[in-house]
Chain A
């Protein structure tokens, strides 16, 4: 991949089915865009500390579709991972880190989403966000 021409985020071809599954009408994430599913897989992988290099790349999200905040999360994860702002000089590396975390998170995300009854996932997900928020607030004190 030519670094200068990086214009999209990739997923592993082998994970494509899992991402597609999450969009099916019977899934609680039906109707969500690719970028939202990617961000969710990314945070699951990141929180699990699970980075998996991609074997066969498949273009999934065009960078121009990311919101400022989504891009900020991806860049912040790269900065935190490398413990340096210098990583931003290598755009390809920034997105590769995100892709690898997403690859490490997609299987678990699929299990979380599909392993529960339809209405239960969002409730469970909400409780996880509250836990995380509570942990953040406690650390601040």
Chain B
């Protein structure tokens, strides 16, 4: 599917704009829209998501809460009159058939000059707007009665973020230490919600069947009541957990937003301090990781050395006994006892002499036997054992030095942590104390969201623990209930129903897990393939894997692991590859729109990615919304052969608001 054109009327800074995108063909699949920061690139994506879902899903703080009607048009509108905001998208499906989507929203200018939203008389969206859809069927454009329903199967809202994404936020997927976001992405792409609903429904029905049973004993009834209480708690905990996670994501986004503001602020001192802080935060992260790793190594060492130290006297005893036998010349022995016994049994000496009768030779051998004890049979084992014992004793001697070396290194890290934390505090104080109101306010907000995020992480952990406890209790009560039901002879039918529900539940869970596993594997393969297409230092990397915990890992040729050691450009290449994989695995044929794909990169990695970008998603229509600093002549040159269309947002600020036009790039 590809976008043929987009028309915007009275939408935010776009008063009347029409954009034509050609069909991707002959290796040309890119559309570039270039505009300065704040010119309205992201609002183009918002216009698309508003048209599709009735929501501006990428809304920044600048426009949040403001009416979406164009300010100049609103200014010119007479009091008492109505104005319409309209976004129209024309798509073409795989067969080239048209799909036309149009969303309208009306505003009225009150007698006092205020803009009021007027819900559409036949609104079909929560925000009071109306979406219409026309599809080309048999050369006719047919009106689609339930556009939102049909859209769910064409471009589902739940996975919108994997089609229209913010290049600057891509890194977030790989910055977390857990694979939560990746797991969520795989979950959404797998579309296993249906199975989740099946599981939920089966649980509910099973409980209903049990409750309806009239012949239940009092013990079983008590267990059911108890189970209901825990199930209710579990539902609450899960809801709270979801809420906390959403809040945490929001806090993280806000934190990044303020980081960005400080990073890009006009005061050089604040900018420099922000850059220093980001470096220190990175260092602190790695120091903390080093401390954890070192503490683990120290703990492993203590656990491995402890048996030797606590068994010291036993080791000394063994060493003394074996050494004394060695000193006495018994170890190694001249003969082993079982060797001499063997000769006597055979009746022949190794030299061939007959010792089968009670002759002088046999007596000599028997004398040798008396001098040998059984220990001679295990002489090799004793020699080996004594070597190991001596080495264990030597290691005990090394204990204070080894321990001190761990402690010294830990102290060093602790010192570094302290001094860096102190500096962070100082930086925050310095920024807060700056006499520009905005900067000190941004800093205050930044610290506020940081704290909020930390609090929410704590709450998430607590809620996860509570969910785990409730789930464990429910499981236990279920098995108790099953035992109780077993005792009842009259409940044959109910027992069969429960058994059936349990089998279905087990199957549904297994299917869900299997689908997620398969999708995870597919995403892993496709990310890898795309990454090796996109990365310029191909020979440096060996493999990319997504493990069962959804942690993504990148292996260097040297065997070293680590997204942590990748440069910003390489990480962006990984993120773009991951998104392309999600997009492809989703099974939805939707164009990709990337807002600021090269946003945070410096010149060199930017050119490196641009050089390889033409290899990206060859068959899809890719719309890139780029800033002027991203779309440098070098970058443009690299993309030129792959461009279908190229636009520039012509933006001007007026006394009543901002106006943007989209013109052909020159």
Q: Which residues of A contact B (CB under 8 A)?
A: 28-29, 32, 36, 39-40, 42-43, 46-47, 68-73, 75-77, 79-81, 83-86, 88-89, 122, 125-126, 129-130, 132-133, 136
Contact = CB atoms under 8 A, between A and B. Distances in A.
6 contacts: A28-B299, A69-B307, A79-B314, A79-B317, A80-B314, A125-B303
A81 to B, nearest CB: 8
Nearest to A132: B309
A27 to B, nearest CB: 12
Given A76-B314, A79-B314, A86-B374, A129 B388 contact: no
Given A76-B317, A86-B375, A133-B400, A46 B392 contact: no
B377 A133 contact: no
Contacts of A126: 302, 403
A135 to B, nearest CB: 9
A73 B321 CA distance: 15
B3 interface: no
A83 B392 CA distance: 20
B311 A76 contact: yes
B396 A88 contact: no
Nearest to B310: A43
Nearest to A26: B465
A125 B313 contact: no
Contacts of A72: 315, 318, 385, 388-389, 392
Q: Ordered nearest first, which 5 A-B pairs have the shortest CB separation?
A: A80-B314, A76-B318, A72-B388, A43-B310, A76-B314
Interface string B292-319: 0000000100111111111111110111
Output the residue of B302, B314, B381, B395 with the most chain A CB within 10 A: B314
A21 to B, nearest CB: 15
Interface string B239-254: 0000000000000000
Interface string B318-340: 11011001000000000000000
A99 B471 CA distance: 36
Interface in B356-406: 374-375, 377-378, 381-382, 384-385, 388-389, 391-392, 395-396, 399-400, 403
A37 B443 CA distance: 50
Contact of A85 (B309, B325, B396, B400): B325
Nearest to B299: A122
A130 to B, nearest CB: 8
Interface of B: 299, 302-315, 317-319, 321-322, 325, 374-375, 377-378, 381-382, 384-385, 388-389, 391-392, 395-396, 399-400, 403
A126 B384 CA distance: 30
Given A46-B314, A69-B307, A85-B375, 7 more contacts: A43-B306, A69-B308, A75-B385, A80-B317, A125-B303, A129-B305, A132-B312
B321 A79 contact: yes
Given A89-B374, A89-B378, A129-B306, A43 B311 contact: yes
Given A36-B304, A86-B375, A69 B391 contact: yes
A5 B375 CA distance: 21
A68 B381 CA distance: 12
Contacts of B321: 79, 84-85
Nearest to B391: A69
Given A68-B388, A72-B388, A88 B382 contact: yes
A29 B306 CA distance: 14
Contacts of B403: 126, 130
Contact of B307 (A42, A68, A84, A133): A42
Contacts of A68: 384, 388, 391
Contacts of A132: 309-310, 312
Contact of A46 (B302, B310, B325): B310
A42 B308 CA distance: 11
B329 to A, nearest CB: 15
A23 B305 CA distance: 19
Contacts of A88: 378, 381-382, 385
Contacts of B399: 129, 133
B322 A77 contact: no
B73 to A, nearest CB: 60
Contacts of A86: 374-375
A85 B388 contact: no
A136 B313 CA distance: 9
Contacts of B299: 28, 122
A85 B323 CA distance: 11
Contact of A70 (B307, B317, B318, B319): B307
Contacts of A28: 299
B392 A69 contact: yes
Nearest to A69: B392
Contacts of B381: 88
A76 B400 contact: no
A40 B312 contact: no
Output the residue of A36, A40, A79, A81 with the most chain B CB within 10 A: A79
A70 B306 CA distance: 10
A85 B303 contact: no
A76 B315 contact: yes
A140 to B, nearest CB: 10
B400 to A, nearest CB: 7
A32 B381 CA distance: 29
Nearest to A88: B378
Output the residue of B306, B308, B322 with the most chain A CB within 10 A: B306
Contacts of A42: 307
Nearest to B317: A80
B374 A73 contact: no
B302 to A, nearest CB: 6
A75 B310 contact: no
Contact of B318 (A39, A43, A79): A79
A29 B304 CA distance: 12
A133 B401 CA distance: 12
Contacts of B306: 39-40, 43, 125, 129
Output the residue of A70, A79, A85, A125 with the most chain B CB within 10 A: A85
A73 B308 contact: yes
A122 B384 CA distance: 32
Contacts of B378: 85, 88-89
